[in-house]
Structure 1
């Protein structure tokens, strides 16, 4: 994408509201352009706004989410921008849910990469609570396939709650622990 188009889209993204993403954005900006800008490290604010737009657009159209599944997984794997990851983790949760309508199965390689990246995220001390909570959900959705994962996730949540028991972390962590315990009975 040329620099002029990048700057034009970036400026436009600053003016759009969440409701515009569902009605207006795709008339002038493509999903591919939003993914490209979300992956950009040059302008973090533009990357965040593009990822936020993707989140709203792709949640509104699950068939589009699954059409761009590989690009969303790649964006998740490559991103180091916490603001981008906040939106992209939500899309990744949806992609990892077994039996999602219109779901295209993730490859074993993609699942392993998601596991590795998600544990890397959880190892980061400066990981924001929202991203950490979404990482829990990503791992939880993969527990039916990976038996060992449930215990690792419980250990991680317990560890995090000992360190930093914020209301959001406690709520999401306890919810997932209950779901794991219910599933293991």
Structure 2
């Protein structure tokens, strides 16, 4: 599928079935994953970028063997993602890849990525940005929690951020924040 055709398809609101169909096309090679990733950075049509990110997340979840070769590019471009709706899908992909209990295909690809520090910086930036939606923030918390073995300094900062966010937190923030505090900081509460 050419980028122009994909752009037109994503200009319309797809349903879950269409997102799954587009992901299957990426799996079959009819839809280049690179085109999806590029469309996630479409600034003049934020809805198209959001829909491309939704399809990209579906590819990452359902067809990791198609997504994993693009993980280095995905990670290197991560700090440039300003679309708040795309950030939600991107953090969900990162949660899948950074999880220490991730499938082998993700953990192998993740360990080959040299830019983990840039991911940490981006997650903290999104976490403290007042414009960032709660759904993105709670995902950032998970990604950072997964990376604290690699970067021990994250622990104290993450705990402080969670405690701060719990003060006036939404139900989603309260639920995820308390779960993370209990799981990762059980003796410091």
Separation in structure 1 between the aligned mates of residue 47 and residue 98 of structure 2, nearest angstrom: 27
Q: How much is the aligned-residue C-alpha RMSD, in angstroms?
A: 2.1
TM-score relative to the length of structure 2: 0.85
In structure 1, stretches of 5+ residues that fail to align are none
Separation in structure 2 between the aligned mates of residue 64 and residue 108 of structure 1, nearest angstrom: 17
How many positions carry a matched residue from both structures? 179
Separation in structure 2 between the aligned mates of residue 34 and residue 105 of structure 1, nearest angstrom: 20
* Corresponding position: 1:179 with 2:183: yes
Q: Which residue of 2 aligns with 1:152?
A: 157
Q: Which residue of 2 aligns with 1:86?
A: 88
Q: Tell me by how many angstroms 1:144 deviates.
A: 1.6
Describe the shift of the 1:84–1:183 C-alpha distance in structure 2 as closer, same or farther (beyond 3 A).
farther
| 4+ residue runs over 3 A deviation | 105-109
Separation in structure 2 between the aligned mates of residue 19 and residue 137 of structure 1, nearest angstrom: 28
TM-score relative to the length of structure 1: 0.86
In structure 2, stretches of 5+ residues that fail to align are none
Aligned counterpart in structure 1 of residue 147 of structure 2, from 109, 122, 142: 142
Deviates more, 1:14-23 or 1:136-145: 14-23
Separation in structure 2 between the aligned mates of residue 182 and residue 132 of structure 1, nearest angstrom: 21
Q: Which residue of 2 aligns with 1:133?
A: 138
Q: Deviations over 1:58-112 (max 9, x none)?
A: 1012222322211221342210110111101100112212353113134574111
Deviates more, 1:13-22 or 1:84-93: 13-22
Deviates more, 1:98-107 or 1:44-53: 98-107
**Could you tell me whether the CA contact under 8 Å between 2:138 and 2:173 is conserved in 1?**
yes
